[in-house]
């Protein structure tokens, strides 16, 4: 058992002796479940509300279209000026570090947790300014791309890349990891309300805020943030996850170039993840979009090894095992944790695509801290 699991191990005698304050967490994605687990650890009773049960791997809809690659990516130099992003940059950096440490522990048991360490991930990019904390945390090395890599970008332009970077990170089998987290929460005594609104009423901003007058609410809804927080600036970005199960094993090699990611998973499958068509709020996995993504990845693989690793492009000739699409949040003000002082509702981790898996488990204590301080 990892330290992370041990910290959340069920202690029935202690739990039964406590009168636990109630907190509602809206959203059963990686941030919602991380926050709920942290609440339970601190002596609260967390109830998670979502339309789909995170314990049901076949029908999950939240945090699933993520590519499943952890990047503790926030550069403090990006957070400038007098805004929430700048003020919170340091704590978000620390959350990225803490998240990587949690994944390192969970990767000791990948077939249960769905998290696997990957060494030598290739990121193809030009003029990538890696902050020093990332270089150390993720074992970053920099190389020349010989020959340079040319690729049709998702915006229609042609880009040429002359540098690539290798680093260490973690592959996340998102449905399995969400189920693992949900099972842990249930073991801890947390509760779920599935496919219902609050008090059997449709979940909307007014209903949420009325409920928050009596019970603290933490909003971890991702794109639902736009409605629940009344924030029209939040923009959708459609994401695709295309999963293959090849007949012959694929080497544990991962690359990231432009908006494309190819990532092996602990169960022998591999996933192609990409952002596609900003401002597309559709979660329908359209076949023509998947074909376009696959062809772009094929072009990368057919160009030959970028660095010391290579993957046979013929693995993409098979029919995908699963193709899913989802909508991710993008906010022009960057990653934020925001507290609505007029209510007990806390909205948080609005930001841009992938922030949940990259900082969610590590930032949960900060979200709970804000909740407790606000509630008191």
pLDDT tens per residue across span 305-358: 666 667 788 888 877 888 887 777 676 666 667 777 777 777 665 555 567 788
Give me the count of residues in the chain.
Answer: 376
The pLDDT of residue 79 is 45
Please state, in angstroms and rounded to a whole number, the distance separating the CA atoms of residues 279 and 302.
Answer: 31
Q: Are 274 and 65 in contact (CB under 8 A)?
A: no
The arithmetic mean of pLDDT across residues 265-283, rounded, is: 78
Would you tell me which CATH number, out of the four given (3.40.220.10, 3.30.70.1230, 3.30.9.10, 3.20.20.70), belongs to the domain 118-170+235-330? 3.30.9.10
DSSP states along 8-46: T---HHHHHH--PPEEEEE--SHHHHHHHHHHHHTT-EE
DSSP string of 183-246, one letter each residue: HHHHHTT-EEEES--BTTB---HHHHHHHHTTS-EEE--GGGHHHHTT-TT-EEEEEEEEEE--
pLDDT beyond 90 at 35: yes
For residue 276, give the H/E element and its range.
Answer: strand 270-278
What token pair was written down for 82?
């007098």
pLDDT in tens, 66-124: 556 666 554 444 444 455 555 566 777 788 888 889 999 999 999 999 999 888 777 77
The residue ranges of every structural domain in the chain are 1-114+173-233+333-376, 118-170+235-330
CATH topology of domain 1-114+173-233+333-376: Rossmann fold (3.40.50)
Residue 165 pairs in a beta bridge with: 123, 142
Mean pLDDT computed over 51-75? 63
1-114+173-233+333-376 matches 118-170+235-330 in fold: no
What confidence score (pLDDT) does residue 309 get? 63
User: What is the rounded CA–CA span in Å between residue 83 and residue 332?
Assistant: 11
Mean pLDDT of 33-49: 94
Higher per-residue confidence, 281 vs 271: 271
**H/E segment holding residue 93:** helix 84-106
């Amino acid at each position: 058992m990892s330290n992370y699991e041990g910290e959340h191990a069920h202690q029935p005698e202690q739990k039964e002796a406590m009168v636990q304050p109630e907190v509602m967490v809206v959203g059963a994605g990686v941030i919602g479940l991380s926050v709920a687990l942290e609440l339970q650890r601190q002596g609260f009773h967390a109830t998670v509300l979502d339309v789909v049960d995170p314990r049901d791997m076949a029908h999950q809809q939240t945090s699933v279209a993520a590519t499943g690659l952890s990047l503790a990516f926030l550069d403090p130099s990006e957070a400038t000026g007098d805004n929430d992003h700048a003020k919170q940059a340091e704590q978000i950096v620390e959350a990225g570090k803490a998240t990587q440490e949690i994944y390192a522990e969970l990767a000791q048991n990948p077939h249960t947790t769905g998290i696997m360490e990957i060494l030598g991930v290739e990121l193809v990019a030009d003029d990538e300014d890696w902050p020093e904390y990332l270089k150390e945390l993720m074992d970053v090395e920099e190389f020349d791309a010989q020959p340079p890599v040319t690729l049709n970008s998702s915006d229609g332009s042609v880009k040429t890349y002359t540098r690539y970077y290798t680093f260490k990170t973690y592959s996340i089998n998102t449905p399995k990891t969400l189920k693992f987290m949900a099972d842990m929460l249930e073991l801890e005594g947390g509760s779920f309300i599935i496919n219902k609104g609050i008090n059997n009423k449709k979940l909307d901003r007014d209903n949420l805020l009325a409920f928050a007058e009596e019970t603290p609410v933490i909003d971890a809804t991702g794109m639902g943030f736009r409605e629940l927080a009344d924030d029209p600036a939040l923009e959708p970005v459609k994401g695709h996850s295309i999963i293959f199960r090849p007949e012959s094993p694929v080497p544990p090699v991962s690359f990231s170039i432009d908006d494309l990611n190819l990532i092996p998973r602990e169960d022998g499958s591999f996933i192609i993840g990409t952002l596609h068509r900003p401002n597309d709020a559709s979660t329908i996995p359209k076949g023509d979009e998947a074909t376009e993504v696959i062809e772009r990845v094929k072009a990368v693989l057919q160009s030959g090894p970028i660095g010391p690793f290579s993957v046979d492009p013929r693995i993409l000739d098979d029919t995908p095992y699963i193709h899913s699409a989802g909508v991710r949040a993008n906010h022009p003000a960057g990653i934020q944790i925001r507290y609505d002082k007029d209510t007990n509702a806390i909205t948080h981790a609005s930001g841009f695509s992938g922030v949940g898996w990259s900082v969610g488990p590590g930032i949960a204590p900060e979200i709970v801290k804000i909740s407790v301080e606000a509630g008191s």
